[in-house]
Structure 1
Amino acid sequence: MRSFVAVGAPVDPVVALTRIAWLLERRRESTYRVEAFRKAARAAERVGVEELTERATAGTLTAIVGIGKTTASVIAESVAGELPGYLADVQQTSPDSLASGGDDLYLAIRGDLHAHTDWSDGGAPLDEMARAASALGHEWLTITDHSPRLTVANGLGPERLRRQIDDIAELNRSSDGTCHILTGIEVDILDDGSLDQTDELLDHLDVVTASVHSKLRMDAAPMTRRMVAAVADPRVDVLGHCTGRRVAGGRGARPQSVFDAAEVFAACAHHGTAVEINSRPERVDPPDDLIELAYDLGCLFAIDSDAHAPGQLDFKALGAQRAERLGIEPDRIVTTWTLDRLLAWTAGGTRSSR
């Protein structure tokens, strides 16, 4: 299994720079390093291949704002019809899979219900996330940027969300159709269990993933009521990273929230709300024992990347490994479903299907 199928010479310089950024993100390299290639790709796209070729011959590529010595070498080799050495090295040294196991389930996954763009706290624009999803073989991808209360993540108020919905419609109209982009939101679950977006917009979206981002140390009883109220809302399709824990990463560890998991998952099962298996390596959320409890109670699941950059879409391999190890059948995982079946489910038509 190989993610982001390797490209060879000749390769467009923008494709080469973008592919390097994706693979570095997948390996969790520094944001600064990744952004250098992304900026160079944007600069190269603005300039065009003809000028890039002229400047490569003249040795003036680094005079273009956003292009440095390393990225200039990538461009020069690319316009010369060669596979850039930097890209060849990154492709060669990137592991075939991020996980040791779960390959069959990985291949069965058709899409993702939780991904962010630079509209909120993601690192790439909508169209680049779509191209990366297509390169991974996704049939569909849901954009779930944050809701307005999460100001630290530049959450989308109603007007910005409406504009994003329009942009997604235009992107789908102009795409080659290999990966359909769904409208969505990662909506904050407020203290009383209500949702941080207008009713009109929540009704309009293809997918609603609901997550707790505040007061994570709330006492168990009110936290349980809060989560049950959210998953019982007919507009909520997925309960995101339910414990809120962090087990690793640059921002440090964080304990899981305390709530009556049996009551919350029973509500998920009753209302047909999927429990997210969040694939981010710093989350591993829910822990195994809670996944097993949700399974025993009859819940559906969603293996999601929670990607904040294109290369992170392949985090799904980590979720697939866990789900396969815990014996979850693919049909219980909504991210293995066809687009038509998924949309029938989010519209409420198959909420009782198990």
Structure 2
Amino acid sequence: MSPDAGAALREIAFLLERQNAPTYRVRAFRRAAGIAQQREDLDRRAADGTLTDIEGIGRTTAGVISQSVRGVLPDYLAKLRAEVRAPERGGALRERLRGDCHAHSDWSDGGSTIAEMAEAARWLGHDWLALTDHSPRLRVARGLSAQRLREQLDVVAELNGRLAPFRVLTGIEVDVLADGGLDQDPELLAELDVVVASAHSELRMEAPRMTRRLIAAVSSGQVTVLGHCTGRLIGERKRAQSTFDARAVFTACREHDVAVEINSRPDRLDPPRELLRLARDLGCRFAIDSDAHAPGQLDWLANGCARAEECGIDPERVINTRAAAELLAR
């Protein structure tokens, strides 16, 4: 049974994002999906070969539509589905995840609306998604001022009214400043459901200062998750990991009930396994997060689940195996 044309085009966009395909390709399919949903003449145009006369429909997207309206699984979608392989490890843990503590929208440096991110998370079977756009200091990522963040809270409240029982949790990825302070109004941070604290600058700071910086952040009483703690990048873009006293930082995380993030982005996979094992041995809790900037990237959680399993992390210590109410009761 073939999905309808709009659903097929949206799934293709999702799977392309999961593969980290170029943005222009993803947008072409997502734009075509929107057009397909609004047109009532797709059957006729598919029959007479005039789909490409519609602005925004190209040869490839027309092929997907033509096969969909005939009740045939589009070849392009079948190919992408076949390329998506279940992870050899981590699958059991992935099934236990109820949500994702770290995701971005087009309010900062993400490429999709809050609603698109939420719909994708719900489609993946999640019960909730924490929206964690950047804080104001990260101007290159269009970080949210206190005023913009308050406006976003209103948008999330309205969206939750439409998506219930699925829930978008309010949140932020707050920048950890050089002195360990947090880049947002403390009173506003206290109103949020999830606060991911991450260092994005001065990552080559000498180890003693970086240690004090991270400990100050996780000891603030306002942080839920310590994000991508070493700041490393792997793959095509490489960046060496920050150096700090990991034992001291993870001990502070444990003492202040701050989860250590297992970042699932293929270009991060942060922290390295030896640090994950250290955090495990120290009794830390963890958050397996996608750090998604597009809907398809939400499915990167499988990467983090595989690493957690490899490092022997008990699923009971992963905070996003919990329902939203249980998570917020921490």
TM-score normalised according to structure 2 size: 0.95
Residue 220 (structure 1) aligned with residue 207 (structure 2):
yes
Name the structure 1 match of 2:75: 85
The whole-number CA distance in structure 2 between the counterparts of 1:102 and 1:76 is: 37
Name the structure 2 match of 1:41: 33
Task: State which of 4, 17, 21 in structure 2 corresponds to 1:29.
Answer: 21
- 1:288 Cα deviation from its structure 2 partner: 1.1
Name the structure 1 match of 2:286: 301
Q: Is the 8 A contact 1:146 1:186 kept in 2?
A: yes
Residue 237 (structure 1) aligned with residue 229 (structure 2):
no
Name the structure 1 match of 2:8: 16
Change (3 A) 1:241 1:62: same
The within-5 A match list for 1:115-194 is 115-177=103-165, 179-194=166-181
The whole-number CA distance in structure 1 between the counterparts of 2:275 and 2:93 is: 20
Amino acid across the alignment from 1:24: L
The whole-number CA distance in structure 1 between the counterparts of 2:291 and 2:96 is: 18
RMSD of the TM alignment (CA)? Answer: 1.6
Residues 85-109 of structure 1 deviation map (CA, whole Å, 9 limit, x = unaligned): 22222223322x2x32112111111
- 1:54 Cα deviation from its structure 2 partner: 4.6
The whole-number CA distance in structure 2 between the counterparts of 1:62 and 1:121 is: 32
- 1:18 Cα deviation from its structure 2 partner: 0.8
Name the structure 2 match of 1:351: none
Stretch moving more, 28-37 or 142-151: 28-37
- 1:176 Cα deviation from its structure 2 partner: 4.9
The whole-number CA distance in structure 1 between the counterparts of 2:31 and 2:105 is: 16
The whole-number CA distance in structure 1 between the counterparts of 2:320 and 2:164 is: 21
- 1:70 Cα deviation from its structure 2 partner: 1.0
How high is the sequence identity, in percent, across the aligned residues? 57
Amino acid across the alignment from 1:116: H
**4+ runs deviating over 6 angstroms:** none
- 1:31 Cα deviation from its structure 2 partner: 2.5
Name the structure 1 match of 2:273: 288
The whole-number CA distance in structure 2 between the counterparts of 1:70 and 1:281 is: 28
Change (3 A) 1:64 1:119: farther
For the residue of structure 1 that corresponds to 2:329, the secondary structure is helix
For the residue of structure 1 that corresponds to 2:56, the secondary structure is coil
Name the structure 1 match of 2:261: 276
Residue 316 (structure 1) aligned with residue 301 (structure 2):
yes
For the residue of structure 1 that corresponds to 2:174, the secondary structure is strand
TM-score normalised according to structure 1 size: 0.89
Residue 259 (structure 1) aligned with residue 244 (structure 2):
yes
The whole-number CA distance in structure 2 between the counterparts of 1:297 and 1:319 is: 19
Q: Is the 8 A contact 1:49 1:79 kept in 2?
A: no
The whole-number CA distance in structure 1 between the counterparts of 2:68 and 2:155 is: 31
Amino acid across the alignment from 1:229: A
Structure 2 residues without counterparts, runs of 5 or longer: none
Stretch moving more, 74-83 or 277-286: 74-83
Task: State which of 61, 65, 72 in structure 1 corresponds to 2:55.
Answer: 65
The whole-number CA distance in structure 2 between the counterparts of 1:124 and 1:205 is: 21
- 1:287 Cα deviation from its structure 2 partner: 0.7
Residues 215-256 of structure 1 deviation map (CA, whole Å, 9 limit, x = unaligned): 11111121111111110111110000000001213xx11000
- 1:193 Cα deviation from its structure 2 partner: 1.0
Structure 1 residues without counterparts, runs of 5 or longer: 1-7, 346-354
- 1:201 Cα deviation from its structure 2 partner: 1.9
The whole-number CA distance in structure 1 between the counterparts of 2:300 and 2:191 is: 28
Change (3 A) 1:92 1:237: same
Q: Is the 8 A contact 1:145 1:185 kept in 2?
A: yes
